[in-house]
Amino acid sequence: MGDQPTADLPVAVFDSGVGGLTVLHELLVSLPAEDYLYLGDTERFPYGSRSPDELRQFSAEIAAHLLETGVKLLVIACNSATAAAVTDLRERLKRAGSEVGVIGVIEPESVLAAAATRNGRIGLLATSATVASGAYEAAVRGADPHTRLTSVACPDLAPVIQAGSPFDAEVVAMVRSYCEPLKAADVDTVILGCTHYPLVRPLLQRSLGADVEIITSGDAVARRVEHALSIRDLLKPRSGAEGRYQFSCTGDPEAFREVGERFLQLPLGSVERTNLDSGDLT
């Protein structure tokens, strides 16, 4: 566990399921030379209704497994897991003597949102776990204390998107009702605080209005990962060659593959089933 990360190792990206593939998509486009290892904890999806203790435990198990495999950076491509576990995971890695950095989605998205707003009113759409954690309030205030965040928990949206019918009348009505409080609060910038929501971005943009700026986890994290790798001297040289990317999940690999391509918008290839048998980080 005390091994030093090296530039030739992959970047690890994990999520509760396929949602984090929207983050991986941005990484593959922005940093194509890197190798990536993606793990979706589909067996325990959704994370959005889990307790903070569960999310810390799951994140520690996944991190132990990925570190055992050998990775140079851990990206928590899940808002719910980031809200509960990013600080805890950094502490656990430090105690284990690991030099591998941990990047979550909340702080980078909050910094982008605070920079984007013109009237200081920012909206958040996220899972119940993420909204209840208050992590975005703290991060947005940390980025700029003169901003005001209006948060809306959307408990039904990620499961409906995952189920595969993002454009039917039920989803349109759902999206409209979740956007109502944000329109009433006159926000000019909206954070998509769940990795599934970029799949209904056009519906959200139509409901919120064309002049509202939408911030996604993928945009924010790609820049942060590049910075983190660069300052650690772990970036692969931009030789023009494309890196490899691999997938594993804790549930049914075929189900992951079927849903996953819609989220990744790139060919997925094979998916391995994995057991999180490396224990966890104490």
Task: Give the contacts of 37 (CB within 8 A, at least 6 positions apart).
Answer: 10, 11, 12, 13, 66, 69, 71, 245, 246, 248
Q: Which residue is nearest to ligand DGL (CB)?
A: 48
Please list the helix, strand and coil fractions of the chain in percent, rounded to the nearest 5, in that order. 50, 15, 35
Encoded amino acid at 196, one letter: H
Pairing state between β 101-103 and 148-153: unpaired
Three-class secondary structure of residue 187 per DSSP: coil
Options 195, 216, 250, 274; binder of ligand DGL; rule CB under 6 A? 195
Q: Is 42 in the site for ligand DGL (CB under 6 A)?
A: no
**What is the x/- site pattern for ligand DGL, positions 129-168, by CB under 6 A?**
-x---------------------------x----------
Residues 170, 173, 178, 183, Cα dihedral to 10°? 160
78 is known as an active-site residue: yes
From 10, 19, 108, 198, residue interacting with ligand DGL (rule: CB under 6 A) = 19
Binder of ligand DGL out of 48, 104, 218, 260 (CB under 6 A): 48
Segment interacting with ligand DGL (CB under 6 A) among 40-48, 56-64, 109-117, 204-212 = 40-48
Q: Tell me which residue of 193, 195, 222, 216 sits closest to 28, measured CA to CA.
A: 222
Tokens of 238: 């931009």
| 16 lines the binding site for ligand DGL (CB under 6 A) | yes
What tokens were used for 178? 């979740």
Quote the crossing angle between the two packed helices 52-69 and 79-95, to the nearest 10°.
60
Length of the chain, in residues: 282
Give me the catalytic one of 154, 179, 194, 249. 194
Q: Is 84:129 a contact under the CB 8 Å cutoff?
A: yes
Residue 190 and residue 194: Cα distance in Å, rounded?
A: 12
CB under 6 A: which stretch of 77-85, 113-121, 206-214, 254-262 binds ligand DGL?
77-85
Stretch that binds ligand DGL, among 57-65, 73-81, 91-99, 107-115 (CB under 6 A): 73-81
**Which of 41-49, 133-141, 180-188, 261-269 is the region at the interface with ligand DGL (rule: CB under 6 A)?**
41-49
Separation CA 223–CA 110 (nearest Å): 13
Q: Answer yes or no: 249 catalytic.
A: no
47 binds ligand DGL (CB under 6 A): yes
Is residue 85 part of the contact set for ligand DGL (CB under 6 A)? Answer: no
178 touches ligand DGL by CB under 6 A: no
**Active site (catalytic) residues:** 78, 194
> Interface with ligand DGL by CB under 6 A: which residues?
15-17, 19, 45-48, 78-80, 127, 130, 158, 194-196
